[in-house]
Amino acid sequence: MMNETFLKSLFEQAVAAADPLKVIQGHLPPAPKGKTVVIGFGKAAASMARAVEEHWSGNLTGLVVTRYEHGMDCQNIRVVEAGHPLPDAAGNEAAEEIFSRVQGLSSDDLVLCLCSGGGSALFSLPAPGLTLYEKQAVNRALLRSGANISEMNCVRKHLSAVKGGRLAVAAHPATVVTLAISDVPGDDPAVIASGPTVADPTTLADARAVVDKYKLEVSPTVMDCLNNPAMETPKPGDSGLSKSSFALISTPAEALQAAAKYAEKEGVRAVVLGDDIEGEAREVAGDHAHQALQSGQEKRVLISGGETTVTLTGTGRGGRNAEYLLSLAIELDGHPGIWAIACDTDGIDGSEDNAGAILRPDTLARAKNLGLDAVAMLANNDAYGFFDALGDLVITGPTQTNVNDFRAILIA
């Protein structure tokens, strides 16, 4: 139990390092001569809005949209909850209102944009000619395809009225300052929430290539949009982006370093494998299992972040962190000295109610006693069901932040 407590403490340290209330103050711009309009989208949008209100000295108004059950009370900034990972009508209406609020501003005004992971689905305003239903269908196909976050957001940007820099262009000539919490490998501003306020280096041709690569079934209207030159996104050097700036206030690397620092303080050597690891969850698990088994006798913890993917072929309940752990369990085959945790820092693994799960040396033995077939359940993408039956899910509820996945393998 002490090893399990240690692993959960590492996760808590990583989440705490990305708390908007702790990290936003030093990044706020000075108050403008004119109005301050606060907008935001993402799983951390409500907590970021509250942090702004606690530290802002002037007047402000605003609207942010976050995932259901991720809301917080604010005084002057309205918080709307909407659907994730699939966009819904509430998110669509919020996006319309945000888009309206930033238009017609003057050069004396400030738009303070609070951006975090999940914003692509939550801040969803379809391009002219597209319906919300069509956007939902594309998102559903992307989520099942195994595409990475950069590929998914490339398509989303070219089917949106607000993503890929379009929001900042609409706000011109007001000053736009974006404060972001990164949840993407590489911390690319153009990928976080599909980059509504930054230039987009991807093209319509890139988006079509993603559709072809994953053999996505999309409607003729969607393909017409992806073939329409008028739907190309603003590129670097666009004059409409000249007064837009972007700053990261929290990153996955900082969260991992906080966990590593805690481990070292507890006398456990920490090895950070990387904050930008991508790939199929089960394949990443295989690689990490090999590294853990080759680590020797010294007590240590292997820490990693990033965003794995799951290509759905089964009908079970999953989540990429649970799938990673189930694959890791199979690869480790009951090794007596290895524990692990894998959780999403937003508190939600995919679309389930858990952040992730815990792996113990006796996981497979306990599962066998319950009649669970680990290999069959992995094949059915039913990692949630596997760990739920064992009582090893990690359930935190929404954490009000999001710096993507956190994984730690303890070799004791």
* Concatenated DSSP letters of 20-59: HHHHSGGGPPPPPSS-EEEEEESTTHHHHHHHHHHH--S-
> Does the pTM of the predicted model rise above 0.75?
yes
Note whether 36 and 110 are same-domain residues.
Answer: yes
Note whether 68 and 212 are same-domain residues.
Answer: yes
Contact (CB, 8 A) for 99 and 162 = yes
Note whether 96 and 196 are same-domain residues.
Answer: yes
Count of domains forming the chain: 2
Q: Distance from first CA to last CA of the chain, Å, rounded?
A: 13
Note whether 59 and 166 are same-domain residues.
Answer: yes
In a domain, 20, yes or no: no
Note whether 77 and 179 are same-domain residues.
Answer: yes
Residue recorded with tokens 């011109």: 172
Give the DSSP H/E element, type plus range, for residue 93: helix 89-101
Note whether 294 and 375 are same-domain residues.
Answer: yes
Instruction: Please report, for the domain that includes residue 129, its CATH number.
Output: 3.40.50.10180
What φ, ψ does residue 331 adopt, rounded to 5°?
-65, -40
Note whether 37 and 159 are same-domain residues.
Answer: yes
Note whether 169 and 269 are same-domain residues.
Answer: no
In a domain, 306, yes or no: yes
pLDDT the model gives residue 1: 61
Instruction: Please report, for the domain that includes residue 312, its CATH number.
Output: 3.40.1480.10
Residue where a domain terminates, one of 229, 250, 271: 250
Note whether 88 and 126 are same-domain residues.
Answer: yes
List per-residue pLDDT tens for the chain, 412 residues long. 689 999 999 999 999 999 999 999 999 999 999 999 999 999 999 999 999 999 998 999 999 999 999 999 999 999 999 999 889 999 999 999 999 999 999 999 999 999 999 999 999 999 999 999 999 999 999 988 989 989 999 999 999 999 999 999 999 999 999 999 999 989 999 999 999 999 999 999 999 999 999 999 999 999 999 999 999 999 999 999 999 999 999 999 999 999 999 999 999 999 999 999 999 999 999 999 999 999 877 899 999 999 999 998 999 998 999 999 999 999 999 999 999 999 999 999 988 999 999 999 999 999 999 999 999 999 999 999 999 999 999 999 999 999 999 999 999 9
In Å, how far from its chain's centre is CA 256? 15
234: DSSP letter: P
Note whether 215 and 283 are same-domain residues.
Answer: no
**Distance between CA atoms of residues 228 and 226, nearest Å:** 6
In a domain, 98, yes or no: yes
Note whether 149 and 269 are same-domain residues.
Answer: no
293 is written with which tokens?
């088994």
In a domain, 18, yes or no: no
**Distance between CA atoms of residues 87 and 140, nearest Å:** 10
Residue recorded with tokens 């930054």: 198
What are the DSSP calls for 366-398, one per residue? HHHHTT--HHHHHHTT-HHHHHHHHT-EE----
Note whether 99 and 222 are same-domain residues.
Answer: yes
Q: What is the dihedral of CA 394, 399, 404, 409, to 10 degrees?
A: -30
In a domain, 379, yes or no: yes
Residue where a domain terminates, one of 196, 222, 250: 250
Contact (CB, 8 A) for 256 and 406 = yes
Domain enclosing residue 321, as ranges = 2-12+253-411
**Distance between CA atoms of residues 332 and 326, nearest Å:** 10
In a domain, 293, yes or no: yes
In a domain, 371, yes or no: yes
**Distance between CA atoms of residues 389 and 112, nearest Å:** 45
CA distances to 33, 62, 179, 249, 383 from 240, in Å = 21, 22, 19, 24, 46
Residue where a domain terminates, one of 250, 282, 317: 250
In a domain, 24, yes or no: no
